[in-house]
């Protein structure tokens, strides 16, 4: 009986646990999300690493703010996905008039229009790159 538990039940439980943590790779349904093109800031040292503008300030002010980014072709800007439980947590970005900052709120543009605009910053950009979803390359 004990060997059956070890050979059958334990692997099944481990598989269920592993599958539970799988990400769907889509934008969060709850809370607020936005995509922004922002300058990279920082000196590139251990004390002051290169990072997208707003990333450190927002996450230090509110640990529930998350971000993911893709570096631009020139390395001077980043396409950043910011997400937070409440719109107020993203107010600094939404109200920014800083040079080089461009904000795209969810639903403001169609997917193809958004990818076209972001493609000006990162050639061949697709939203899957920002969401962390593996997409096979199309053979041409």
Summarised one tens digit per residue, pLDDT across range 64-74 is: 899 999 999 99
The pair of structure tokens assigned to 89 is 């947590």
Q: Please determine, for residue 130, whether its predicted confidence score (pLDDT) is greater than 70.
A: yes
φ/ψ of 110, rounded to 5, equals -70, 165
CATH topology of domain 32-131: Alpha-Beta Plaits (3.30.70)
Summarised one tens digit per residue, pLDDT across range 12-57 is: 555 555 544 444 344 444 689 999 999 999 999 999 999 999 999 8
Q: Please determine, for residue 138, whether its predicted confidence score (pLDDT) is greater than 70.
A: no
CA-closest candidate to residue 50, choices 72, 21, 17: 72
The percent of residues in the chain predicted with pLDDT above 90, rounded, is 61
Q: Where are the domains of the chain?
A: 32-131
Q: What is the pLDDT of residue 15?
A: 53
Q: Please determine, for residue 2, whether its predicted confidence score (pLDDT) is greater than 80.
A: no
Q: CA-CA distance, 35 to 20, in Å (whole number)?
A: 27
């Amino acid at each position: 009986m004990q060997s059956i538990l070890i050979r059958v039940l334990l692997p099944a439980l481990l598989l269920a646990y592993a599958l539970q943590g799988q990400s769907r790779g889509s934008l969060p349904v709850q809370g607020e999300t936005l995509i922004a093109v922002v300058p990279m800031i920082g000196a590139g040292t251990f004390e002051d690493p290169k990072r997208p503008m707003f990333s450190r300030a927002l996450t230090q002010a509110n640990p529930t703010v998350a971000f993911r980014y893709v570096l631009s072709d020139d390395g001077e800007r980043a396409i950043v996905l910011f997400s937070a439980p409440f719109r107020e947590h993203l107010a600094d970005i939404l109200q920014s008039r800083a040079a080089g900052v461009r904000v795209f709120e969810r639903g403001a543009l169609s997917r193809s229009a958004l990818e076209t605009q972001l493609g000006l910053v990162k050639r061949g950009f697709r939203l899957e790159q920002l969401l962390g979803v593996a997409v096979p390359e199309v053979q041409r």
